[in-house]
């Protein structure tokens, strides 16, 4: 402690400091070290303020801001892709009335077997091809029961949807019970689409 | 109850549906488009619409890709109550002039395999699979009803919004709705308690 005090006194009495004090105008900081420190504090405050503002934008949670891309004459605003579960959690903390839609990045879900087990026509046929379902088919379905195919297995409905009658462009909307129950085994005795 | 599909634990609603019991489960399916599997071919998609569920929605892109257009629920005039085609707007500019400005406040994204899109059912949304897509798009839509939404009340009337939505679907069966709503709330609470013990971070988020 004694040695540290001695060094401080030595520093203050150095010719450089003495000269600065002598030439300082009235009201000006008389210690160059204090002035430098004040500048560093101010700079730190500005940087911290900027980061606080950026990370508290609604729904962004430190992710890059939404970007505007001009594709021809149509303006497009792209959704943020959240790259960590923490970021997703923060996005959910935004009150519902201000919460924006967002995308959860694929690297967070890469190990989920559901993608390989259900992400193709072959997988769909293998898993539920023989199950009965009501399937809506149409180029752009306007209502829930429009163009629906009743009393078919999912496989036959898929075949119908792929037929040339529909021009090869269709949207198949298969019942609401996936991941929940095998509708065929329920008391209703039929399958349906909502 | 036999499952058709093994979903990650936080999307597994078996416990929740069992809790509802057969009668309420039937009623539940009447009201909600709970889970849907979409196989969407090139050039097709769902028109611009909102859902009356007042739920959180997740769409999981299982394979291929799909484009999405989302606008806030209060943009009803700007999207002409869903008449506008956001993906084919260049051909409809004269018919729907207001959408030129509205679309700047909307979002557009291309959802790729493995990605999950979250939005709330109040939002207007439209989908489209690129006309030249090499393969169909496969996706699952999953709902999550927050207990807060069940308890959400209209600022104007002070009445529960959820019950109003159900009443809208059911005409005047208000007494049955109250019973259904109570059961739904109880089962939702049980499901949430179960998910609290789930190891995955997403469970915590859903809570």
The predicted-structure confidence for A106-146, as pLDDT tens digits, reads as follows: 998 887 777 776 777 777 777 667 766 555 555 554 434 34
Q: Which residues of B touch A115 (CB under 8 A)?
A: 62-63, 113-114
Q: CA–CA distance from B45 to each of A179, B42, B68, B100, B201 (Å)?
A: 23, 9, 9, 21, 32
Residues 126-185 of A with CB under 8 A from B: 127-128, 131, 138-142, 144, 158, 161-162, 168-182, 185
d(CA A147, CA A150): 10
Spell out the residues 6+ positions from residue A189 whose beta carbon is closer than 8 angstroms to its own: none
pLDDT > 70: percent of chain B: 67
Q: How many contacts (CB atoms, under 8 Å) link A and B?
A: 205
Q: CA–CA distance from A62 to each of A50, B20, B141, B150 (Å)?
A: 12, 40, 27, 31
Half-sphere exposure of A106 (CA within 13 A, CB side): 14
Q: Which of A130, A178, A192 to mutate to test the interface with B (most CBs of B within 10 A)?
A: A178
Q: What is the per-residue burial (b if ≥16 Cβ within 10 Å, else e) of B22-45?
A: eebbebbbebbbbbbbbbbbbbbb
> Min CA distance, B123 vs chain A (Å)?
9
pLDDT confidence bin for B106, thresholds 50/70/90: very high
Across the interface, of A103, A110, A181, the residue whose CB is closest to B117 is A103
Looking only at the bridges linking them, the beta strands covering B66-71 and B116-120 are unpaired
pLDDT confidence bin for B194, thresholds 50/70/90: confident
ipTM reported for the complex, 2 dp: 0.80
Question: How does pLDDT run across B49-59, given as a tens digit for each residue?
Answer: 887 666 778 88
**Pairwise CB contact (< 8 Å): A171 & B46:** yes
> Min CA distance, B77 vs chain A (Å)?
18
Higher pLDDT, A65 or B156: B156
> Min CA distance, A151 vs chain B (Å)?
18
Across the interface, of A92, A105, A175, the residue whose CB is closest to B205 is A92
| Highest mean predicted confidence (pLDDT) among B20-34, B77-91, B127-141, B192-206 | B77-91
- pTM as predicted: 0.67
Nearest CA in chain A to B202: A85
> Min CA distance, A47 vs chain B (Å)?
30
- Picking from B21-30, B41-50, B171-180, which range would have the lowest pLDDT averaged per residue? B171-180
């Amino acid at each position: 402690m004694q040695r540290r005090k001695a060094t401080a006194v030595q520093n203050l009495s150095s010719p450089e400091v003495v000269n600065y004090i002598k030439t300082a105008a009235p009201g000006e900081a008389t210690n160059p070290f204090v002035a430098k420190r004040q500048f560093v504090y101010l700079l730190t405050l500005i940087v911290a303020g900027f980061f606080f503002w950026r990370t508290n934008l609604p729904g962004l949670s430190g992710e890059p801001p939404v970007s505007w891309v001009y594709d021809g004459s149509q303006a497009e605003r792209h959704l943020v892709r959240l790259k960590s579960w923490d970021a997703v959690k923060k996005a959910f903390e935004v009150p519902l009335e201000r919460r924006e839609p967002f995308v959860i990045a694929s690297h967070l879900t890469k190990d989920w077997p559901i993608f390989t087990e259900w992400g193709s026509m072959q997988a769909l046929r293998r898993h539920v091809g023989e199950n009965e379902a009501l399937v809506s088919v149409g180029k752009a379905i306007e209502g829930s029961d429009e163009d629906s195919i009743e009393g078919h297995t999912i496989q036959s409905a898929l075949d119908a949807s792929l037929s040339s009658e529909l021009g090869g462009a269709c949207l198949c909307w298969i019942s609401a019970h996936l991941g929940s129950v095998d509708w065929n085994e329920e008391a209703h005795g039929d399958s349906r689409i909502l | 109850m036999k499952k058709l599909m093994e979903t990650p634990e936080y999307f597994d609603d078996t416990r929740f549906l069992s809790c509802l019991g057969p009668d309420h489960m039937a009623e539940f399916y009447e009201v909600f488009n709970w889970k849907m599997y979409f196989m969407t071919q090139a050039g097709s998609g769902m028109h611009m619409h909102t859902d009356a569920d007042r739920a959180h929605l997740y769409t999981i892109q299982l394979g291929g890709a799909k484009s999405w257009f989302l606008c806030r629920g209060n943009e009803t005039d700007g999207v002409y109550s869903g008449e506008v085609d956001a993906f084919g707007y260049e051909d409809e500019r004269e018919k729907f002039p207001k959408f030129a400005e509205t679309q700047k406040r909307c979002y557009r994204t291309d959802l790729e395999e493995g990605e999950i899109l979250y939005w709330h059912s109040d939002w207007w949304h439209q989908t489209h699979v690129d006309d030249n897509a090499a393969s169909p798009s496969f996706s699952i839509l999953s709902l999550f009803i927050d207990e807060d939404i069940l308890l959400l009340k209209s600022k104007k009337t002070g009445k529960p919004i959820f019950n109003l939505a159900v009443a809208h679907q059911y005409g005047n069966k208000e007494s049955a709705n109250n019973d259904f709503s109570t059961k739904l709330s109880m089962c939702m609470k049980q499901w949430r308690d179960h998910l609290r013990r789930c190891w995955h971070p997403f469970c915590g988020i859903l809570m």
